[in-house]
Structure 1
Amino acid sequence: MHTDHLDMNLLRLFEAVYRLGSVSLAAEALGLSQPATSQGLTRLRLALGDALFVRANGRMRPTLRAERLAAVVQPAMTAIQDVLKTEDRFDPSRSRMTLRMHMNDIGEARLLPEFMAALHCDAPGIRVHTAPLPHGEIVDALETGSIHFALGFLPSITGTEKIELLSDRYAVVVRAGHPMTSASKRKATLQDLRRLEYVAVRTHSETLRILQQLDLDGRLVLSSAHFLALPAIIARTDLAVVMPEAIARRFVDAKSYALLPTDLPRSRFTVSLHWSRRFESDPAHKWMRDLFVRLFVGQQR
């Protein structure tokens, strides 16, 4: 029995003859000529050493060997067809998937409001789980599928597929009515900035880099583990915080905060969407990528 190099198309032919009980009907269903179908069935008979079908009462009746083979081949063919059909489409309105993403707290504040609003309209059954991962674990998490995407300013992440979503810059935020905002409308100088005291979040390395580069890290009086408490602290003190301008402007709109006009070094950054090439063709994955692009690409401050 020589089955090591068996043509899988012969099993498709076998399944069609078994299901339809006719060589001619199988040929029609597979788009083959009847001679080609007969030749293929002969090849399969020789390979398996069994007649497989015998003619009786106008139909091709399976042998016992064919019955056992059909019990394996038919479910396999059905499963393959189901997978291929499923992979060809994605219906967001009916999906119940859980979308898992690397995102820090500032990224959540910047991206999730618009993203969740869009999901609520187009894919209300999709659940979202975000968590910040150590940067050294992100690539492996993307490759294994434990997360679908990583979003943020991630210059240390290499070897992934990515697209730039939006650009922003860091700004200095103080409370409304802060003495430095009322003193003058001119841009704050480095000397002005060195008179301020600062709060920062330890996990946001770019904020700390800017403070260090300006020799302001000695003016850091609060190093917090989380961003959430900082707005309330700023509103009640003369402390300042360096943070992305797009988020800062939302606080300014609340009339409790003010942006100090100043130029910070290397303050512009780009937020990118990262993913693994393994999932490039997955329809659900592609739909999510397209949604991020539609919502955010080209947004700049």
Structure 2
Amino acid sequence: MAGIDLHLIRTFLSIYESGSLTRAAEELSVTQPSVSYALARLRKQLADQLFIRNAEGMIPTRRATELFTTFKKAVNAIDASVEAGRTFDPAVTRQQFRLCLTDLGELAFLSPILQAFGSEAPHATLEIVPMQIDAVSQWLIQGEIDAAVASIPIEGAEHHEVLYEERYVCVLPKTYSGSPTQLSAEEFAFLRHVAIDPSAGHSQADRLLESMGIQRRIALRLHHFSVLPYVIASSDYAAIVPLRVAELFAAQWPVTLRELPFTIPSFNVSLYWNGTPPTSPAQRWFQQTVAASLKQPLGPLALFH
């Protein structure tokens, strides 16, 4: 990176991420000819076209793709070092933070996080990015999100903090009259189950059941968890969900929960983020606030209803 102006690198990153000279100019608050001139200088210095224009926009070359991660990390490290020397007051900040959550995470986590934001950073903006489990690692690397909460390891994440330990249970309609605390193997096999698409970020239970040779009677397949409590409350279907979410469902809907008839190992729910120290005060506040919010229990809920 020796001999390359930081301004040129920021221009490169903006073109790469936006796929457009016009949008890059808008993001950088400069004219489009300025962006074109910067790109011409970069092409000469790096001896590569870097971007090729087609109907879809500015498409990066292989060399540009190789350079992107290195440039992005370098610029993030520079920005973090500069920010580390500044004071940060959450009470007055208007900064936007981006957190990646599954739709289950939105149901279970948003309330405590928003309470913390409301009391500590009332003018800040929180954007929730829907989880795409295959893309979240790249989002962290590229700085498209500030952090992610997930129940499976995020490859490529540089840091993580365990928030709490979790386990799976079975959710059923309130009218279920079988075993009062734990399903038998026969009851479990007889139930009609709802299956959730693995891209939602909760596929551990299905993989374990498959490895144990246990098959469920799948009656419904959904791509999201958000409609699940309504489906179960209004039918005789069952679903496997994390305990914290099952308790939340049971507190708000006419559903009940039971322990599974076989042992599925517990798992950790963790906060993931990237960034080489020193971390900016704003990012440090954000990570600590999210972690502290989610380490708190949801409240005194009876396990079986």
Identify the match of residue 232 of structure 1 among 230, 234, 246. Answer: 230
Unaligned runs of 5+ residues in structure 2 are 1-80
Residue matched to 1:187: 182
Residue matched to 1:7: none
Residue matched to 1:206: 204
Which segment is superposed worse, 198-207 or 85-94? 85-94
| Map 1:7-22 → 2, pairs under 5 A | none
Once residues 278 and 110 of structure 2 are traced to their aligned partners in structure 1, the CA distance between those partners, rounded to angstroms, is 23
Q: Summarize the Cα distance change of 1:102–1:264 in structure 2 as closer, same or farther, 3 Å threshold.
A: farther
CA RMSD of aligned residues (A): 2.5
Once residues 115 and 160 of structure 2 are traced to their aligned partners in structure 1, the CA distance between those partners, rounded to angstroms, is 23
Secondary structure at the aligned position of 1:194 is classed as: helix
Identify the match of residue 151 of structure 1 among 149, 165, 171. Answer: 149
* Shift, 1:291, TM fit: 1.1
Once residues 292 and 241 of structure 2 are traced to their aligned partners in structure 1, the CA distance between those partners, rounded to angstroms, is 25
**Deviations 1:10-63, CA, capped at 9 Å, x for gaps:** xxxxxxxxxxxxxxxxxxxxxxxxxxxxxxxxxxxxxxxxxxxxxxxxxxxxxx
Unaligned runs of 5+ residues in structure 1 are 1-82
Residue matched to 1:197: 192
Q: Would the aligned equivalents of 1:135 and 1:157 in 2 still touch at CA under 8 Å?
A: no
* Shift, 1:168, TM fit: 1.3
* Shift, 1:163, TM fit: 0.6
- Count of equivalent residues: 216
Once residues 255 and 118 of structure 1 are traced to their aligned partners in structure 2, the CA distance between those partners, rounded to angstroms, is 26
Which segment is superposed worse, 136-145 or 110-119? 136-145
Identity %: 24
Once residues 132 and 240 of structure 1 are traced to their aligned partners in structure 2, the CA distance between those partners, rounded to angstroms, is 25
Q: Would the aligned equivalents of 1:252 and 1:259 in 2 still touch at CA under 8 Å?
A: yes
Residue matched to 1:265: 263
Residue matched to 1:29: none
* Shift, 1:251, TM fit: 2.2
Once residues 116 and 247 of structure 1 are traced to their aligned partners in structure 2, the CA distance between those partners, rounded to angstroms, is 17
Q: Would the aligned equivalents of 2:90 and 2:120 in 1 still touch at CA under 8 Å?
A: yes
* Shift, 1:239, TM fit: 0.8
Residue matched to 1:113: 111
Secondary structure at the aligned position of 1:278 is classed as: coil
Q: Would the aligned equivalents of 2:104 and 2:226 in 1 still touch at CA under 8 Å?
A: no
Once residues 237 and 168 of structure 2 are traced to their aligned partners in structure 1, the CA distance between those partners, rounded to angstroms, is 16
| TM-score, normalising length: structure 1 | 0.64
* Shift, 1:283, TM fit: 0.6
Residue matched to 1:93: 91
- Amino acid of the residue matched to residue 287 of structure 2? R
Q: Summarize the Cα distance change of 1:239–1:87 in structure 2 as closer, same or farther, 3 Å threshold.
A: same
Once residues 124 and 236 of structure 1 are traced to their aligned partners in structure 2, the CA distance between those partners, rounded to angstroms, is 38
- Amino acid of the residue matched to residue 281 of structure 1? T
Once residues 214 and 195 of structure 1 are traced to their aligned partners in structure 2, the CA distance between those partners, rounded to angstroms, is 17
Once residues 97 and 263 of structure 1 are traced to their aligned partners in structure 2, the CA distance between those partners, rounded to angstroms, is 47
* Shift, 1:298, TM fit: 7.0
Once residues 190 and 172 of structure 1 are traced to their aligned partners in structure 2, the CA distance between those partners, rounded to angstroms, is 12
* Shift, 1:87, TM fit: 3.5
Once residues 142 and 295 of structure 1 are traced to their aligned partners in structure 2, the CA distance between those partners, rounded to angstroms, is 21
Residue matched to 1:16: none
Once residues 171 and 149 of structure 1 are traced to their aligned partners in structure 2, the CA distance between those partners, rounded to angstroms, is 27
Q: Summarize the Cα distance change of 1:132–1:187 in structure 2 as closer, same or farther, 3 Å threshold.
A: same
Q: Would the aligned equivalents of 1:139 and 1:160 in 2 still touch at CA under 8 Å?
A: no
Q: Would the aligned equivalents of 1:143 and 1:278 in 2 still touch at CA under 8 Å?
A: no
Q: Summarize the Cα distance change of 1:221–1:243 in structure 2 as closer, same or farther, 3 Å threshold.
A: same
* Shift, 1:275, TM fit: 0.8
Q: Would the aligned equivalents of 2:107 and 2:226 in 1 still touch at CA under 8 Å?
A: no
| TM-score, normalising length: structure 2 | 0.64
Is the radius of gyration larger for structure 1 or structure 2?
Answer: 1
Q: Summarize the Cα distance change of 1:280–1:219 in structure 2 as closer, same or farther, 3 Å threshold.
A: farther
